[in-house]
Amino acid sequence: MKTTIPSFPGIPAVAVSGRMNTFTPTETHRSEAGSFMMLMLVVIAAGLGVVALILRLFSPQIRKYAAGGVCRSTARLDGKVALITGANSGIGKETALDLASRGARVIMACRDVEKGEEAATEIRARVGGAKVEVRELDLADTCSIRAFAQRFLQEVDHLHILVNNAGIMMCPYMKTVDGFEMHIGVNHLGHFLLTYLLIGLLKRSAPSRIVVVSSLAHNFGWIRFHDLHSQGSYNSGLAYCQSKLANVLFTRELARRLHGSNVTVNSVHPGTVRSELMRHSTAMSLLFAVFSMFLKTPKEGAQTSVYCAIAEELQSISGKHFSDCAPAFVAPQGRNEETARKLWDVSCELLGIEWD
């Protein structure tokens, strides 16, 4: 076959004989490509092996760092009464265990009573003479909250520690019995109503303390007053962040209103904890499994809640945020007094209550 390359002004045409060259992979090329891929796999495997070796060598230091702060108070709670929501698992159960070991009478408020009884049995087995009780409380139902509080006030004479611990995280879009978006309904409004119903007893039992379990996630939250229940659009992560910011704002405004009552309230970030809270997010559950070494155990995660509930040096401290048993940063939106007051008023309106 002859191919002629066209001529251009001043350049004669050139005839080229033979076939046009085309590249055809040979066995040699395939072998070289296979060898390269094998080399890359070996390099990646070696890199992962080195990382694994480093993590193994430094695992004690990594675990110590991940564990965070420890409550070192030796305070006893004999004769004191503590109420903890969501105490059937995770940091709630560990908080109940710690307070019971100090002599407190601990009421474990749980949605799942059967799991609550299992947790209570475990605490009694670990703490001789532990005074723990399980009571049903569904924070996604205001009727359940009111029924719980009514019975509690009839049967309990004092309340020295209230730990608003229960929570839900990154669940699919759902509504509470009363029509609230689940995150804001359980994490904020449910505890708001419970605290309102028990605040009189807390004041009569003073000095008393309220601990609100929030999260570092409050830094990424905004209170969407125009769509508080995410009816316009829904993102489970953002809904969770909004509810955790609401916890911080509630703490701030409640502390202002309780000034001079000898009842304090502080919020806490427990840290990134291995718990059932991630059950609604497969991606986050897998991520937590991979990086489990860097996560806190439930006992480690409970330390700041315990610290804020009992530490002697916090007796007059209120309206603050803590993490790792030390004061922690609060995002600017969590320090906005106007937003805190507006959220308070909106919460009262949604719940049909007046709380001056």
Q: Which residues are known to be catalytic? A: 240
Do residues 150 and 176 make contact, with C-beta atoms less than 8 angstroms apart?
no
The DSSP string of 269-332 is E--SB-SGGGGG-HHHHHHHHHTGGGSBPHHHHTHHHHHHHH-GGGTT--S-EEETTEE----G
Tell me the residue length of the chain.
356
The DSSP string of 177-224 is TTS-BHHIIIIIIIHHHHHHHHHHHHHHT-SEEEEEE--GGGGG----
Q: What's the helix, strand, coil split of the chain in %, to 5? A: 50, 15, 35
Torsion of CA 79, 83, 88, 93, to 10 degrees: -60
128-to-83, 84, 117, 123 alpha-carbon distances in Å: 20, 20, 16, 9
| Token pair of 258 as six digits | 């309780």
Instruction: Look at strands 105-110 and 131-136 and give their pairing.
Output: parallel
